[in-house]
Chain A
């Protein structure tokens, strides 16, 4: 199996991938410990901002990684026959406080509700749901085609 040269995608094609999908994997780190989870997102291409909601409990591992405003990396990828594409975004993961919510937030989080990857074993009213946004400081899309 040979690999063709990897191609960097222009911004419009990178944004198109993010619009085609609504799920990805977000990675956090604390010291030498990694933490990666699948999430669903809404994406605003003009602001290069992702909107996501995370569920955690006060004692959870996730809460420890979210304690400050961590730098996060979000990966979205797709494969189509022999072509593989990926988008990697990196930036601070900031919590959106309830008092700061706006119409724009409601619209963006509306895009982030399907599918819910979180395994929710409790009623929603018993969950601790927090809203976050990731403003991409770096955003890159790549494509590679495999010759079989």
Chain B
């Protein structure tokens, strides 16, 4: 990943099924802007 923070979450998009390891900043951005791959809305349940 391109972020400076270490990986803290695994994101799995409920619509496209994409799985990405993300840090906290990326998690916040995904919740705000949607899945970077398919554009679907993202809820906190998409992160483990």
Q: Which positions in A face B, CB cutoff 8 Å? A: 53, 98-103, 105-107, 109-114, 116, 124-125, 127, 129, 131
Contact status A101-B1, CB under 8 Å: yes
- Point out the residues of chain B lying under 8 angstroms from A116, CB to CB: 39
Q: Across the interface, do B17 and A125 meet the contact criterion of CB distance under 8 Å?
A: yes
Q: Is the CB of A103 within 8 A of B25?
A: yes
Cβ distance B29 to chain A, nearest Cβ, rounded Å: 4
Say how far A127's CB is from chain B's closest CB, in angstroms. 7
Let me know if A106 and B36 touch, CB within 8 A: yes
CA distance A99 to B32 in the complex (A): 20
| Residue contact B3 to A102, C-beta cutoff 8 Å | yes
Q: Which residues of B1-39 are within 8 A (CB) of A?
A: 1-3, 15-18, 20, 25-26, 29-30, 32-34, 36-39
Neighbouring A residues of B25 by C-beta, 8 Å = 103
Among B3, B37, B40, contact of A131 (Cβ-Cβ < 8 Å): B37
CB distance from B41 to the nearest CB of A (A): 10
Contact across chains for B26 and A103 when beta carbons are under 8 A apart: yes
Partner of A101 from B20, B33, B38 at Cβ < 8 Å = B20
User: Across the two chains, which residue of chain B brings its CB closest to A112?
Assistant: B39
Nearest residue in B to A55 (C-beta to C-beta)?
A: B38
A103 contacts B34, C-beta separation under 8 Å: no
Could you tell me the distance in whole angstroms from the C-beta of B45 to the nearest C-beta in chain A? Answer: 17
A111–B30 Cα distance when bound, in Å, is: 12
Report whether B33 and A107 are in contact in the complex, using a CB–CB cutoff of 8 Å.
yes
A112-B39, A116-B39 given; A103·B15 CB < 8 A: no
A103 near B29 (CB under 8 angstroms)? yes
CB neighbours (8 Å) of B2 from chain A are: 100-102, 105
